[in-house]
Amino acid sequence: MKMNPPLHRTSAFSLVEVTLALGVAAICLLPLMALLPVASKTQQNGIQQTTANQIISQLNAVLRADVSLPPGQANKVCPDPPDPNVPCKWGDLNGHWLDQAAPDTMYFTYEGLQTGNVNGDPPQDAVFRAKITYRFPPSDTTSLADIAVSWPAAVDPGNGGVPAGYVITTIAVNR
C-alpha cells in the first residue's frame, strides 16, 4: 500500500509569495503600459511626416515635368533655332509661373492622393495642405519654389493657424 506524504513536505508557494510576485510584476508593467499611448502617437507622427515628404516629392516631380519656366524664359522651351511650322506659345504649358505670383494650395488625403480643387476650400477627406509659393524674380538659370505641407488640412498656417505638423522645402524647378 502506498502512503501519501505528509503535508509539511509538499512543495508550493504561499499566498504571500504569490501576492508579492504579482505586485512586482504589476509595478514593472505599469510604466510599459503608460508608454503605449506615447509610442502610438510617435508612430502616427512618423506616418504623417513620411506622407508629407512623399507629397513634397510628388509635387517636385510634377513641377519639374511641367516645364514651369518663369516669365521671360519661355523661349527656352522653343527649339533652337525656332521652327516656323511649330508655334511656341507659353499658353501651351501647364505651369503657373507666368500666370500668377500667388501661391497654389492643394489638398491631399491620408494616403497622399490629391483631392479637391487647386486653391479651393479643403474637402472633407483632406488631411494634408500643400502650399506652393513661387519665388520671384527667378534667376537666369533656375526657377525656385517653396513647398510647405502641413496637417491637418483645415488649419492654414498662413492665416495664423498652428498645424499639428509641418514640412517645408525649396526646390529648383528648372536648371
pLDDT tens-digit map of 115-128: 888 888 889 999 99
All cell numbers assigned to 166: 509641418
Q: For residues 45 and 48, what is the distance between their CA atoms, to the nearest angstrom?
A: 5
Q: What is the pLDDT of residues 107-162, one digit of tens each?
A: 999 888 888 888 888 899 999 999 988 777 666 556 788 899 999 998 888 888 88
Q: For residues 69 and 93, what is the distance between their CA atoms, to the nearest angstrom?
A: 9
Q: Is 90 a residue whose pLDDT tops 50?
A: no
Q: For residues 148 and 105, what is the distance between their CA atoms, to the nearest angstrom?
A: 9
Q: Is 92 a residue whose pLDDT tops 90?
A: no
Compute how many other C-beta atoms are within 10 angstroms of the C-beta atom of residue 132.
23
Average pLDDT, the chain: 78
Determine the pLDDT at residue 140. Answer: 55
pLDDT: which is higher, 19 or 171 = 19
Determine the pLDDT at residue 94. Answer: 47
Q: For residues 114 and 107, what is the distance between their CA atoms, to the nearest angstrom?
A: 6
Give me the percent of the chain exceeding a pLDDT of 90.
Answer: 26
Question: How much is the pTM?
Answer: 0.66
Q: Is 32 a residue whose pLDDT tops 90?
A: no
Determine the pLDDT at residue 82. Answer: 55
Compute how many other C-beta atoms are within 10 angstroms of the C-beta atom of residue 127.
19
